[in-house]
Amino acid sequence: MIEEIASTADGNIILNLGPQHPATHGVLHLVITINGETIQKVEPHLGYIHRSIEKMCESLTYRQFIYVTSRMDYLSSHINNHACALCVEKGLQIEIPSRSQVIRVLMDELTRIASHELWWGAMAMDLGAFTPFFHAFREREAINDIMEETCGARLTMNYMVPGGVMQDIHPNFQRRVKEFITLFKSKVGEYNELVTGNIIFQNRMKGVGNLSAADAISFGCTGPTARGSGVSCDIRKLYPYEIYEKLDFEEILESDGDSFARYMVRVREMSQSISIIEQLIDNIPEGDFQAKTKAVLKLPKGEFYQRVETARGDFGVYIVSEGGTTPYRIKYRSPGFSNLSALDHMARGSKLGDLVAMMGTLDLVIPDIDR
C-alpha cells in the first residue's frame, strides 16, 4: 500500500494508495492525508487509463464510435452500446423492431447481473474474504458463456448497433438463459449465508462511509450508490427507454446511506434483474432483429442526449451534430466519475482501514472514470 510517505509540518502524513493496488480495481491513484489513523482528505488523481475517447469519437462514424464505448465501463459494455445506439436512433428518428428491443433489454439485465456478481466477489475480497470471489465467478461465467455464443465476445460486446442488434440470438440462447436462472436462484442463498449475514462483514460495513441523500444528489451520485441513500434515481423508472415501462420490477431503495445499504441495494437488484429476464425470456417476439438503415448514417444538425441506467448509474451520451457522418462533439457522462467525487466527502474523519470498504461499495470501474 505504501509507495512513499511524506510527513507534513502539522503532523499529517501523506499516503499514496495506488495507482497499482488490488483494492483500487484498476489504475486509480488516491493521495490520502491522514493524521494517525484518521483520514483528513482523499484526493483522487485520475488519468492513468485516459484514452481520450471523446476526442477519438469525433473522427469516427456513427457506426464506428459504438465500439469504443465498450471500452469505457467494460462491465456494462452492452448498456454503453445501448445508450449510443438509442442516441443515434433518436437523431435518425427510426423505430426498431420489437424483437431487437426485447433482446436488448435481456442483454442489459444479464450484464447488470454479471457486473453486480463481479462487484460482489471483489467487494468481499477487498475486505479479506477470498472464497466469495469464486462463488461469484461461477455464476458470472455462465452469463459470459451465454454472451459468447450470441455476441462472440465475453467482455467488449459491440452487439447493439443503430437499428437493432448485430445478429440474431443463438438458437441455444433461451434454453441457456433459463438454465442460468435456475442456477442463480439455487445459489443466491449462499451469498447471503456466506457474506451478508456474516457479523464481521456487517461490522465493517455498517455506519461506514455515510452519505446523506442531499449530498448524494449534490455530488451527482447515481445508481446503487445514491439508492443506498434513499435517492430515487433509476433511469429505467424515471425516464423509461426501450420497453422498461411495460415491465414489472421494483426500484431498490435503502435509507441508511452507509456502505452496507449500498451493498444491499446491489444484492437485491440482482433478483430484480432475474425477474425482468423471466418476464421476457419466453416472450421474445418473432421478426427482424434489425431495422433497415442506410449504409452511411448522417445525423441531422442538432443535439441529442440519451440517458440509460448502467450497473453503476446514470450514463449519458450527448451528441452534438453538424449534419455530417461523424459527431462534432461527444460527451460521455459517466456515473463512476461523479460517484468518485463523493469519496473525499464520505471518507473525511473515518479510519484509514474503512476506506477500502467505501471504495468497494462505490463500485468504481476506472476506464469508465477516465474515459
Partner 1 sequence: MTIEALKEKITALFPAVTFEEGGQWPTVLVEPTDWHRMAGILRQNDALYFDYLFCLTCIDWKTHLTMVYHLDSTNYRHNLVVKVNLLKMNPAIETVSDIWQTANFHEREVYEMFGVNFLHHPDLRLLILPDGWEGKHPLLKDFEDPINMIKL
**Residues interacting with partner 1, by CB under 8 A?**
46-47, 50, 52, 54-56, 58-60, 90, 215, 217-220, 222, 231-233, 238, 302-305, 307, 314, 316, 318, 320, 328-329, 331, 333, 337-338, 340-341, 345, 370
CB of 117 or CB of 309, closer to partner 1: 309
Smallest gap from Cβ 151 to partner 1, in A, equals 24
CB of 236 to partner 1, least distance (A): 14
Which cell is 108 given? 442489459
Residue 279 or 338 with smaller CB distance to partner 1: 338
Nearest distance from residue 214's CB to partner 1, in Å?
8
Question: Helix/strand/coil (H, E, C) string of the chain?
Answer: CCCCEEECCCCCEEEEECCCEHHHCECCEEEEEEECCEEEEEEEECCCCCCCHHHHHCCCCCCCHHHHHCCCCHHHHHHHHHHHHHHHHHHHCCCCCHHHHHHHHHHHHHHHHHHHHHHHHHHHHHCCCCHHHHHHHHHHHHHHHHHHHHHCCCCCCCCEECCEECCCCCCCHHHHHHHHHHHHHHHHHHHHHHHHCCHHHHHHHCCCCCCCHHHHHHCCCCHHHHHCCCCCCCHHHHCCCCCHHHCCCCCCCCCCCCHHHHHHHHHHHHHHHHHHHHHHHCCCCCCCCECCCCCCCCCCCEEEEEEEECCCCEEEEEEEECCCCCCCEEEEECHHHHHHHCHHHHHCCCEHHHHHHHHHHHCCCHHHHHC
The least distance separating partner 1 from the CB of residue 44, rounded to whole angstroms, comes to 8
Q: Measured from the CB of residue 318, what is the shortest distance to partner 1 in angstroms?
A: 6
**CB nearer to partner 1: pick between 58 and 278:** 58
Nearer to partner 1, 235 or 265 (CB): 235
Q: How far is the CB of 39 from partner 1 (least distance, A)?
A: 17
Nearer to partner 1, 207 or 316 (CB): 316
Task: Please identify, using beta-carbon distances, which residue of 164 and 335 lies nearer to partner 1.
Answer: 335
Q: How far is the CB of 337 from partner 1 (least distance, A)?
A: 6
Nearer to partner 1, 140 or 307 (CB): 307
Q: Please state the closest distance from residue 307 (CB atom) to partner 1, in A.
A: 8
Smaller CB distance to partner 1: residue 132 or 367? 367
Radius of gyration of the chain (CA): 21
